[in-house]
Structure 1
Amino acid sequence: MSALTERAEESTAPGPAAPEETAAGYRAGRTLPLRVELVRQLKRRRTLVMGAVLALLPFVLVAAFAIGGEPEGRNTRVNLMDTATASGANFAAVSLFVSAGFLLVIPVALFCGDTVASEAGWSSLRYLLAAPVPRMRLLWSKLIVGLGLSLAAMVLLPVVALTVGTAAYGWGPLHIPTGGTLDPGTAAGRLTVIVAYLFVSQLVTAALAFWLSTRTDAPLGAVGGAVGLTIVGNVLDAVTALGDWRHFLPAHWQFAWADAVQPTPEWSGMIQGASVSVTYALVLFALAFRGFARKDVVS
């Protein structure tokens, strides 16, 4: 009897927990590959329209200079705009100067703010998560592609401007407004530094747009909110009564890259501007991931 009792107890005793079953071949890290997300975003109309706008801007500037004549200094003071037609390198620098304050903000806000909210607006976000695509994997894919397209937009403008400017005004050194020139090789390096700084300085706009994109189902709200708050920052920076408090505004450092267009570049302004932008961006990115991980996705 004792042997039978022992066998009965062994048969009813709880065994080890069964491992959680997943579909054969499923790997969370392979869901929503970057190339798939990139192709999806490249095929969207807003991507094509924004690329066309940035590519056409240099042609518009060349036409404006052709109609209005050569730029001239005001009150004997020469600035970067006055050297626009000196060479292709100068024209590329001027193209960045006229677009850095607002135009380049739009593609960054668009590519980073539209990415998650558009999926919610199309009611496809919940189906992506049910695929199943892990939430963090979804956000990382969206963020990396959004930042990649933003960087591509910032590279596209000076490349086209350099090509168009060289065809219109010739290949030559970069003429510095304060006097002197930079040889074409050095000028190309400085333009690369400028584009890199512009990208870093726009990280705060990208992070703000991305965070708003995880909080709303309306893409226009995320994009418009990021652009609107960026404009508010520019307005606050113009209020001189704020004094040193303006140093905490990313907008205060948006033109610090002009220090690179000097015989001896000054890096302190760009370092401070990059530090402010990266600090805000890290906080906003963290809020986006934290909030989305706990969000009840119903659309």
Structure 2
Amino acid sequence: MSTPTEGTEPVEAAPGYRPGRTLPLRVELVRQLGRRRTAVVFGLLAVLPFVLVAAFAIGGEPGGRGSRVTLMDTATASGPNFAAVGLFVSAGFLLVIPVALFFGDTVAAEAGWSSLRYLLAAPVPRARLLWSKLVVALVLSLAAMVLLPLVALAVGTAAYGWGPLHVPTGGTLDAGTAAARLAVAVAYLFVSQLVTAGLAFWLSTRTDAPLGAVGGAVGLTIVGNVLDAVTALGHWRDFLPAHWQFAWVDVVQPRPEWSGMIQGTAVSVTCALVFFALAFRGFARKDVVS
């Protein structure tokens, strides 16, 4: 009987092995929730509203500069106003940290612990491993962004009462409408951070040092903010995700303006998809030795 040549017969998987059921999302989520850095991130975000209330109690209520009134000046007007201010002070940089951490640390940490090769030898398909980690990082990042305004709304309501949101440009939004608008703002902030998420995730597949992936994503985000401040770039700034990071403020107005959020969403999603595609493509061909 002739021996079949190599490669002419398909390799059969072990009985009961199903690639789609390896590394379940529930298992990965429990693993990530059990890590100390996750508890630290959520703890810091939950404490921030209390720090702001204490700052206003010590320093007095914020006041406008001359005739100019900003969103910060209305922080103590009501719970919704306080929540809006919490988003405003954290959107530029603070919310970047948990996103960069959850995405930049996810694959690089496994490589740093020398456990990545054992996960792949389980065997967990590479695409499945990345998909599980990507979904869990998205869930944790969304939870972090929802946690901050929810705690701020509760703390602000306890400290300053439940009432309408006072718009700096004039007018008010009733509390129910304000809560709905703030939910839209949080959703937009999450979408706008997808660029940082994609960049951190891609870097996480390229290095074995989690700090390098997280720091690289945060650093390039800062560079984007610096470039956006260079007015000489003119309309070229429209292609920077950082240019649209505060477009959500237009939705907490008596007459919301959506054009900035639409453009910001388009730029952010496009850049994020490119980085996520690079991550999957590069990891599929990477020689994993860690």
Sort the TM-score into its range (normalised by shorter chain).
over 0.9
CA distance in 2, matches of 1:145, 1:138: 11
Match of 2:91 among 92, 100, 106: 100
- 1:97-116 deviation per Cα after TM superposition (whole angstroms, max 9, x unaligned): 00000000000000000000
2:61 is the counterpart of 1:70: yes
State the Cα distance separating 1:180 from its structure 2 match: 1.0
Q: Give the letter aligned to residue 143 of structure 1.
A: L
State the Cα distance separating 1:21 from its structure 2 match: 2.3
What runs of 5+ residues in structure 1 fail to find an aligned partner?
1-10
After superposition, the Cα gap between the structure-2 partners of 1:283 and 1:184, relative to the gap in structure 1 and judged at 3 Å, is: same
Q: Report the equivalent of 1:246.
A: 237
State the Cα distance separating 1:132 from its structure 2 match: 0.1
Q: Give the letter aligned to residue 113 of structure 1.
A: G
2:251 is the counterpart of 1:227: no
**Matched residues, number:** 289
Q: Give the letter aligned to residue 291 of structure 1.
A: G
CA distance in 2, matches of 1:244, 1:17: 58
Identity %: 84
CA distance in 2, matches of 1:218, 1:172: 47
2:161 is the counterpart of 1:161: no
Q: What does 1:119-158 correspond to in 2, within 5 Å?
A: 119-158=110-149
CA distance in 1, matches of 2:120, 2:11: 18
CA distance in 2, matches of 1:284, 1:206: 9
Using structure 2 for the length normalisation, give the TM-score.
Answer: 0.97
State the Cα distance separating 1:19 from its structure 2 match: 4.4
Q: Give the letter aligned to residue 278 of structure 2.
A: L
Match of 2:275 among 284, 288, 291: 284
Q: What does 1:5-20 correspond to in 2, within 5 Å?
A: 12=2, 18-20=9-11
Q: Give the letter aligned to residue 220 of structure 1.
A: L
- 1:221-278 deviation per Cα after TM superposition (whole angstroms, max 9, x unaligned): 0000000000000000001111111111000000000100110100000000110001
CA distance in 1, matches of 2:2, 2:265: 65
2:160 is the counterpart of 1:177: no
* SS in structure 2 of the partner of residue 232 of structure 1: helix
Q: Give the letter aligned to residue 20 of structure 1.
A: V
Q: Report the equivalent of 2:40.
A: 49
CA distance in 2, matches of 1:134, 1:155: 32
User: Which structure has the bigger radius of gyration?
Assistant: 1
Q: Give the letter aligned to residue 20 of structure 2.
A: G
Q: Report the equivalent of 2:206.
A: 215
Match of 2:182 among 191, 202, 205: 191
2:285 is the counterpart of 1:294: yes
